Each structure stands twice: as structure tokens, then as C-alpha cells.
Amino acid sequence: MGKIISIANQKGGVGKTTSSVNLSASLAHYGKKVLLVDTDPQGNATSGLGINKGDVDQCIYNILVEDARAKDTLVESDTPNLDVIPATIQLAGAEIELVPTISREIRLKQALDEVRSDYDYIIIDCPPSLGLLTINALTASDTVIIPVQCEYYALEGLSQLLNTIRLVQKHLNKQLMIDGVLLTMLDARTNLGIQVIEEVKKYFQDKVYQAIIPRNVRLGEAPSYGKPIITYDAKSRGAEVYLELAKEVMENDTRVG
């Protein structure tokens, strides 16, 4: 049975999509069968893996709002072992359209249950909000990865996210756990980055991954070529660190059993 991991933080620009794409590709690199589910209407994970949104016939919208089967929306990416359930701008209306529907919080879970046994990992890239799309993702997940950008106010807003996680645990998904907190976009030349690392470690302790994602030009460039970093520049520091993160995520899995 595949493990389902959401990458969530309601702040935009903290590295959710970059981490979703590159963790997925890194796990696939280690021979794991991976499905990346894009739940952000912007569809950056979709295009970041080279999938042309204009060619997408059915997307996550059709799963959530129209009961489409996950199998009918799957697209193979150019990366071996890595499939994608894409998102298009059609998804932008989904949160409002979902409000009056029955079982609106568990639709993604129901759809993923049908394909779960085909994968080792299912990674869900969440949108920058705590609305029904993120709730669907958290409800479907075994664990959540929280990316935190190494900048001023790094911890700001995290209490709302943790509160949402607690509400989901209480009402929708008792099993949900925090897989880890991922520090992103570290600028090693500044003291600020070091301070933020200390602050986040003080708060989350051993939940913080050892792998810390540096600010890396190649990581920022790769999406415009529709490639994960290990395909775009395997020798870059960004590629190395996402491979290290993938190892930690796999180790967490063996610890949890």
C-alpha cells in the first residue's frame, strides 16, 4: 500500500511545489513507484514536470467535483516511475463548487484509495490556502510535510496550519501525522538563515529534516524547462539535497512500520 504524503503550508512561495516535484522525482530515482497529485489551481507541479496543461483532458477537478476515477486522469511524466494527476485552472472554482456536496472532505481519499496499491508513494502538492482542497489532501494522507522558508517570520502562520491539522485529525483522519518540517531556500551566506534554523528546531525538535534545501539558482530554473532538478542538473546542490530528503522520507517510513 502506498504511503500518501501531503506537502502543505498556506503561505505561498515557501517551496511546496518545488519540494513536491523534486521529492517525487528523487523517490522515483530510487526505484519507487510515485504518483504526484497536483491540487493547486495554478498547476505549477503539472507544468513543472513538463505536462502541457492544454493537452490535459481530465484533471483533479473532475475527480473532486465530478467523481471521475483517478485512473482516468493519470498522466505519465517523462521521469520513469513518476505519474501525475494534473491540475488545470478549471480547479479554481472547485472550492466553491464543493461546498454543498456530500462527503466533500473525503473525495480525494476515496479516489486515491483505488490507485493506492499501484504506488509506493503518493505525494500531494497543496494550494496556498487552508480551504477544502487542502482539507481533502490532509484527509487522504498518512503524513504531512511542512515546508518552512528560511526568512523573517518563518514560524508566522504555522499555528493556523497546525490547528487545521489537529482538526483533520479529530474529525476526518485520526492517523494523520507530521512526517517532518522541511527548511527551504536557505541562504547560507546570512546569519538570518542560521537563526531561523535554530528557531524552527527549537519548536519542532527532531521533526525537522536534516536535509535543508539551499537557495539554488538551478532549482528555480528547472520548472521553466519542465524538468525536475535531477534531470535538469543532476550535479547541482539542489539535486543532491532533494535526494537526501528522499532518503530521510524513506527512513521515516520504515520507522513508522
Binding site for ligand ADP (CB under 6 A): 12-18, 44, 128, 184-185, 213, 215-216, 219-220, 223
Closest to ligand ADP by CB, 44 or 62? 44
| Shortest Å distance, C-beta 72 to Mg ion | 24
Q: Which does residue 14 touch among ligand ADP, Mg ion, none (CB within 5 to 8 A, set by kind)?
A: ligand ADP
Give CA–CA dist 26/230, Å, rounded: 7
DSSP 17-39: HHHHHHHHHHHHHTT--EEEEE-
| Shortest Å distance, C-beta 90 to ligand ADP | 19
Residue that the C-alpha cell 547541482 belongs to: 236
Q: Which does residue 136 touch among ligand ADP, Mg ion, none (CB within 5 to 8 A, set by kind)?
A: none
Give CA–CA dist 222/148, Å, rounded: 21
| Shortest Å distance, C-beta 222 to ligand ADP | 8
Q: Which does residue 50 touch among Mg ion, ligand ADP, none (CB within 5 to 8 A, set by kind)?
A: none
Residue in 107, 109, 176, 111 with CA at minimum distance from that of residue 144: 176
Helix (H, G, I), strand (E, B) or coil at 101: coil
Q: Which does residue 143 touch among Mg ion, ligand ADP, none (CB within 5 to 8 A, set by kind)?
A: none
Closest to ligand ADP by CB, 18 or 136? 18
The one-character DSSP state at 214 is B
Residue nearest to Mg ion (CB): 17
| Shortest Å distance, C-beta 104 to Mg ion | 22
Residue in 33, 41, 36, 131 with CA at minimum distance from that of residue 75: 36
Q: Could you tell me the CA-to-CA distances from 231 to 37, 80, 222, 244 in Å, in that order?
A: 20, 11, 9, 16
Angle, nearest 10°, between helix axes 237-256 and 16-29? 70
| Shortest Å distance, C-beta 16 to Mg ion | 5
Closest to ligand ADP by CB, 8 or 115? 8
| Shortest Å distance, C-beta 257 to ligand ADP | 30
- Which positions touch Mg ion (CB under 5 A)? 16-17, 40, 44
Closest to ligand ADP by CB, 128 or 131? 128
Residue in 90, 97, 96, 94 with CA at minimum distance from that of residue 57: 90
Closest to ligand ADP by CB, 44 or 77? 44
Using CB atoms within 10 A of its CB, is residue 224 exposed (0-12), middle (13-18) or buried (19+)? exposed
Q: Which does residue 109 touch among Mg ion, ligand ADP, none (CB within 5 to 8 A, set by kind)?
A: none
Closest to Mg ion by CB, 44 or 173? 44
| Shortest Å distance, C-beta 15 to ligand ADP | 4
Closest to ligand ADP by CB, 107 or 215? 215
Dihedral angle computed from the Cα positions of residues 70, 75, 78 and 80, in that order, rounded to the nearest 10 degrees:
30
